[in-house]
Amino acid sequence: YEAGNYSVIWDGRDNSGQAVSSGTYIYQIQAGQFVDIKKMVLIR
């Protein structure tokens, strides 16, 4: 991957296509050997 800013868009749906509830979610980003885990809050 080249250095720079990247973005990811999540539509608030699970793997089955169902809308998820409001709450705190944990996500993981991987790029090469880089791995980062963060929390996000989804409010509907």
Distances from the Cα of 23 to the Cα of 12, 17, 20, 33, 37, angstroms: 11, 17, 9, 29, 17
Query: In this predicted model, what pLDDT tens digit does every residue of 1-44 receive, in sequence order?
Result: 688 998 999 999 999 999 999 999 999 999 889 999 999 999 99
22 lies in which domain range?
1-43
Q: What's the pLDDT at 15?
A: 96
Q: What's the pLDDT at 1?
A: 66
Q: What's the pLDDT at 3?
A: 85
Q: What is the rounded CA–CA span in Å between residue 1 and residue 34? A: 11
pTM reported for the whole predicted model: 0.73
**What total number of domains does the chain contain?**
1
